[in-house]
Structure formats: structure tokens, C-alpha cells
């Protein structure tokens, strides 16, 4: 899938950034640290930093998002326009500027104040630069190994099927933004123990959510195809998600799809609109293989190499 | 990644798996840093003994082809940047090359024919340096 990007496609993101910057100037309220210590004249000398800590954690999260975005830019993998993709850089600018504004009001050291402003402006600049870079970034060159390898794989599998030999094909979909989700998972897990006076259900939810996030983001999505079955597992622990007998597979296709538009996001989802209505998607990124069973059920199986997985599935489908 | 074994192949199963992983790395189908199936997954999906899968991975690890660490998924190691030392080349390559030269002799190939065959294969195959 190769979607051309015009300069007008960037207007929503640029508008979003400008709006954030405007709100920043207007001083959109942000939960500043609450003073809890006062001197003899009643001036605050100590603050509770819970809201600021939240801001710092959010900033760290967003910085990791931004770094990931820059890395993706280098890898030339970011082809699709996504107006939300710049919200992170804009938010970093906003949060840092709020920190600076708080500093102005509360006598923060001038050097720290300036540093916060400069970092905010740099983050804003980086956001605009990243966005504009997408206009000129060439479409990624197709992997030269793909077509030849896929043909070779299909012929190897046909031969193996004909000989009745034992084989298995592994296909993996790595989770994008693994760093970000790793930080989130760790934060949730630690938060389950660190938050004072939290109710038990909240601790349990944080712990389960954190461990699940860590487990899934560490192993990605793994599809194993053998002459008899297709098995889909997720995460380091290999949580089973789907198991299909290869004799049940009626049709295999490599579709063009947009996870956000067709499924409302990533993960395990069900499509409700258009060509993907009724399709169960197991997808951590933006490429996959659509499998239709003889009973008419349809599954979208996420993989980083859809053509090769489709070739493997077609080989077993033809044989069964 | 495709792995298989042939029961009629005189080589042991682990050696067949080792050869396949190495070839897929040479051809670029497997890239450095890519995850490999765990030993248990490899054994269960191929229907082979756990020890056979373990041995295949051990050989690959010992040869520096994969990284095998406790508690982590096996992963394709970075490609060697410097050519191997004379001793290692002698140990892993010279003996097998000698066998091929002998085979070529008995097939009636001249030195020139043998060299041109090697050149042809190197040119047509991917993954040469």
C-alpha cells in the first residue's frame, strides 16, 4: 500500500500544533503543584508535586513517542498521514511551557525556566520539522528479497507438501512503539505497589494491565503455520489467540487496510464497516493477511511479511 | 522463517535445521536481530524431540550465528564483520571444500570447470559478500 501525501494533508496536524501553542500562550490551566508549606509571611515555600509528577511521567511517555517517530522517519517506514501523530510533540511543548510558566510564578531559577522554554520550543520545532519531512520523504523502496523469497518459499512449500515432509513456517509481527509500551507496562506494574491508599481493585487492575502490556509488547504476534494447523500467539508467554485447522481455510488474501479506519485501532478487534465488517482482526501494526474459513468466518492476521505468510497459507490450502 | 526436515536425509535433524537457518540468513530471509522460535515451540511445531531442537540452537550459538540467552527469545546474531581467522576457516571450511574437490575430480571436472561452477553459484546466489 502506497498512499501519496500532499501538503494539504498536513494542515490538520499543523493546525493542531498551532492551537496547542495558542492555548499555551493563553495559559490553558494545568494542575500546578499545590503549596503545602508556607513561610512566616504566608508565602508558599513547598509544594505537593503529584500533578507535576504526573506531568513529568506524561512528558517522558511522549518523549519516547517522539523518539520512536524520529526513528521511524529514518527507517522510512512512516508513509501514512496521521493527524494524531504530532499531538505528542505538541503536548511536550505545552507541558514544558506550563512548567516554565509555573516557574515564573513561583520563583524558579532563571536558568531552569529558560531551559524549559527552550526545550518546549525545540519540541514544537521538531514537531513541525517531522511533519514537513513527511512531504518529501520518498516512499520506501520495496524489499528486494520479498518477491523472489516469496516465490521461492511457495515453491519450497509445494515441494515439501508433495513429499509429505514435516515443516513449519513462522511469521512475526513486532509491536510498534515497544519502548513506549514497555515504559507504560513498567509504570503500571510499579504503580500497583507504589500508589498509597489505592483500593485493592485499582491495584489489581494496574498490576494485571501492566504485566499484560509487558508480556504482549515483549514478544509481538507470532503466527505458526504447519501442514495441519495455523496457530496465532501473542507475547513472550505465547498467549494463544487463534487456532485454525488448515483444512478449514478457504481463501487467503493480502488486503489494504487502515487499522484506525477499518477497526478503530490496533489489537484484537472486530470490524463493523465496509469490506471488513464482521472480520476479527489480530493486528499490532498495519499489515496482515485476511483468511476466510469454509464456514465463512474471516480473520485478519497481523504479520510483518504478509506476502510470505499468504504464500505459506496458500500452499497448505491447495494441499488440503 | 521456514524450517523443515527430511527423514531420508542422512544428516541428523539438528544438522539439517542448522543448515537451513544459516542459509536463510545468507539469503537475507532472516535478518540480524530477528526473533527465532523458542526451543519448545520449534520442537512442538516440527514434531521433534526437545533435545534435538536444543542441540540445533546450541550449534548455531557456538558458531556465533544466533544469540541464545536464558529467559530471552533466541535471536539472529549480528553478521561477522571481519573474516574468520585461519584456524576457524581451516576447521569449518577446508575439510568440506576438500570433499567437494574430490567429488568434482570423480565427476571428471577440470579445475577450470570447478572454478567456473563456484563463480556461477556465487553470482547467482544471494547473500555473498
pLDDT tens, position by position, A176-186? 777 777 777 88
pLDDT tens, position by position, A215-250? 777 778 899 999 888 999 988 778 888 999 989 999
> Which residues 63-92 of B are in CB contact (within 8 Å) with A?
73
Q: Is the pLDDT score of B84 beyond 70?
A: yes
pLDDT bracket for residue A103 (50, 70, 90)? low
Nearest to A66 by CA among A122, A141, A14: A122
**What's the rounded Cα separation, in Å, for the pair A86 and B8?**
58
**What's the rounded Cα separation, in Å, for the pair A294 and A320?**
12
Q: Residue for cell digits 492551537? A: A19
According to DSSP, the residues that pair with A195 across neighbouring strands are: none
User: How many residues are there in chain B?
Assistant: 129
A166 to chain B nearest CA, in Å? 6
Q: Does B4 contact A160 at a Cβ distance shorter than 8 Å?
A: yes
Q: Quick one: pLDDT at residue A31?
A: 47
Q: Quick one: pLDDT at residue A78?
A: 45
Q: Is the pLDDT score of A150 beyond 70?
A: yes
Least confident of A1-15, B47-61, B84-98: A1-15
Nearest to A234 by CA among A219, A249, A247, A245: A219
Q: Does A168 contact B45 at a Cβ distance shorter than 8 Å?
A: yes
Nearest CA in chain A to B24: A149
* Minimal Cβ distance to B3: which of A148, A168, A231: A168
Roughly what angle, to the nearest 10 degrees, separates helices B39-46 and B50-62?
130
SS3 A220: coil
Residue ranges per domain, chain A? Answer: 7-136, 144-173+221-319, 175-219
- DSSP letters spanning A263-304: HSSSEEEE--SGGGTT-EEEESSS-EEEEEETTS-EEEEE-S
Cα pseudo-dihedral B89, B95, B96, B100, rounded to 10: 120
| Sheet arrangement for strand B2-5 | A239-245, A229-234, A221-225, A166-173, B2-5
B72 to chain A nearest CA, in Å? 9
- Residues of A with Cβ-Cβ distance to B45 under 8 angstroms: 168, 224, 226, 231
Task: Collect all residues with Cβ–Cβ distance below 8 Å to B109 and sequence separation of at least 6.
Answer: B117
Which has more confidence, A139 or A21? Answer: A21
Choosing among 1.10.10.10, 3.40.50.300, 3.40.710.10, 3.40.50.970, the CATH entry for B13-76 is: 1.10.10.10
Nearest to A124 by CA among A266, A55, A22, A12: A22
User: Is the minimum CB–CB distance between A165 and chain B shorter than 8 Å?
Assistant: yes
Task: Collect all residues with Cβ–Cβ distance below 8 Å to B41 and sequence separation of at least 6.
Answer: A224, A238
Distance of CA A160 to the CA centre of its chain: 37
pLDDT tens, position by position, A104-144? 566 566 666 666 667 666 766 766 666 666 544 455 555 65
Q: Quick one: pLDDT at residue A287?
A: 87
- Residues of A with Cβ-Cβ distance to B47 under 8 angstroms: 166
Nearest to A314 by CA among A206, A157, A139, A165: A157
**What's the rounded Cα separation, in Å, for the pair A235 and A219?**
4
Average pLDDT rounded to a whole number, residues A289-310: 92
Least confident of A193-202, B94-103, B119-128: B119-128
Q: Quick one: pLDDT at residue A41?
A: 80
Whether domain A144-173+221-319 has CATH 3.30.1280.10: the reply is: no
Q: Strand pairing of A221-225 and B66-67?
A: unpaired
Q: Is the pLDDT score of A291 beyond 50?
A: yes
Give the predicted TM-score (pTM) of the model: 0.63
Kindly report the backbone phi and psi dihedral angles of residue B2, in degrees, each rounded to the nearest multiple of 5, phi listed first.
-105, 130
Distance in angstroms between the alpha carbons of the first and the last residue of chain A: 30
- Average pLDDT over chain A, rounded to an integer: 73
Q: Does B29 contact A312 at a Cβ distance shorter than 8 Å?
A: no
Q: Is the pLDDT score of A79 beyond 50?
A: no
Distance of CA B29 to the CA centre of its chain: 13
Q: Is the pLDDT score of A278 beyond 60?
A: yes
pLDDT tens, position by position, B17-52? 999 999 888 887 888 888 888 898 889 888 899 999
**What's the rounded Cα separation, in Å, for the pair A175 and A192?**
24
User: Is the minimum CB–CB distance between A155 and chain B shorter than 8 Å?
Assistant: no
Q: Is the pLDDT score of B13 beyond 90?
A: yes
User: Is the minimum CB–CB distance between A315 and chain B shorter than 8 Å?
Assistant: no
Amino acid at each position: 500500500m502506497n498512499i501519496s501525501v500532499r501538503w494539504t494533508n498536513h494542515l490538520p496536524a499543523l493546525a493542531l500544533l498551532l492551537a496547542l501553542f495558542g492555548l499555551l500562550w493563553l495559559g490553558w490551566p494545568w494542575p500546578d503543584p499545590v503549596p503545602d508549606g508556607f513561610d512566616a509571611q504566608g508565602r508558599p515555600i513547598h509544594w505537593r508535586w503529584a500533578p507535576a509528577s504526573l506531568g513529568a511521567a506524561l512528558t517522558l511517555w511522549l518523549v519516547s513517542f517522539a523518539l520512536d517517530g524520529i526513528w521511524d522517519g529514518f527507517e522510512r517506514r512512516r508513509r501514512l498521514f496521521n493527524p494524531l501523530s504530532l499531538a505528542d510533540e505538541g503536548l511536550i511543548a505545552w507541558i514544558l511551557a506550563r512548567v516554565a510558566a509555573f516557574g515564573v510564578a513561583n520563583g524558579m531559577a532563571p536558568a531552569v525556566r529558560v531551559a524549559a522554554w527552550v526545550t518546549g520550543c525545540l519540541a514544537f520545532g521538531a514537531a513541525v520539522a517531522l511533519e514537513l519531512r513527511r512531504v518529501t520523504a520518498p516512499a520506501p523502496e520495496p524489499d528486494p528479497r520479498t518477491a523472489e523469497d516469496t516465490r521461492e518459499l511457495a515453491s519450497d512449500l509445494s515441494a515439501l507438501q508433495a513429499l509429505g515432509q514435516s515443516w513449519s513456517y513462522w511469521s512475526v509481527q513486532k509491536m510498534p512503539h515497544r519502548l513506549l509500551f514497555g515504559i507504560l507496562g513498567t509504570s503500571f506494574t510499579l504503580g500497583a505497589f507504589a500508589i498509597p491508599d489505592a483500593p485493592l481493585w485499582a491495584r489489581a487492575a494496574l498490576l494485571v494491565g501492566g504485566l499484560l502490556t509487558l508480556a504482549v509488547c515483549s514478544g509481538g504476534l507470532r503466527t505458526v503455520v504447519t501442514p495441519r494447523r495455523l496457530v496465532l500467539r501473542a507475547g513472550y508467554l505465547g498467549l494463544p489467540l487463534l487456532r485454525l485447522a488448515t483444512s478449514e481455510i478457504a481463501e487467503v488474501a493480502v488486503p489494504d487496510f487502515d487499522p484506525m479506519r477499518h477497526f478503530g485501532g490496533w489489537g484484537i478487534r472486530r470490524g463493523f464497516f465496509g469490506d471488513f465488517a464482521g472480520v476479527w482482526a489480530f493486528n499490532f501494526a498495519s499489515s496482515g493477511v485476511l483468511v476466510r474459513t469454509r464456514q465463512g468466518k474471516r480473520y485478519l492476521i497481523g504479520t510483518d511479511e504478509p506476502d510470505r505468510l499468504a504464500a505459506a497459507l496458500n500452499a497448505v490450502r491447495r494441499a488440503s | 522463517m521456514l524450517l523443515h526436515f527430511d527423514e531420508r536425509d542422512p544428516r541428523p535433524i539438528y544438522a539439517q535445521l542448522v543448515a537451513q537457518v544459516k542459509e536463510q540468513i545468507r539469503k537475507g530471509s532472516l535478518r540480524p536481530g530477528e526473533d527465532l522460535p523458542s526451543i519448545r515451540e520449534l520442537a512442538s511445531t516440527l514434531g521433534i524431540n526437545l533435545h534435538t531442537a536444543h542441540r540445533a540452537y546450541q550449534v548455531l550459538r557456538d558458531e556465533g550465528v544466533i544469540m541464545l540467552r536464558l529467559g530471552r527469545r533466541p535471536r539472529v546474531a549480528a553478521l561477522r564483520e571481519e573474516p574468520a581467522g585461519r584456524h576457524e576457516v581451516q576447521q569449518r571450511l577446508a575439510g568440506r571444500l576438500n570433499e567437494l574437490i574430490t567429488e568434482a575430480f570423480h565427476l571428471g571436472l577440470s579445475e577450470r570447470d570447478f572454478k567456473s561452477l563456484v563463480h556461477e553459484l556465487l553470482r547467482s546466489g544471494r547473500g555473498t559478500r
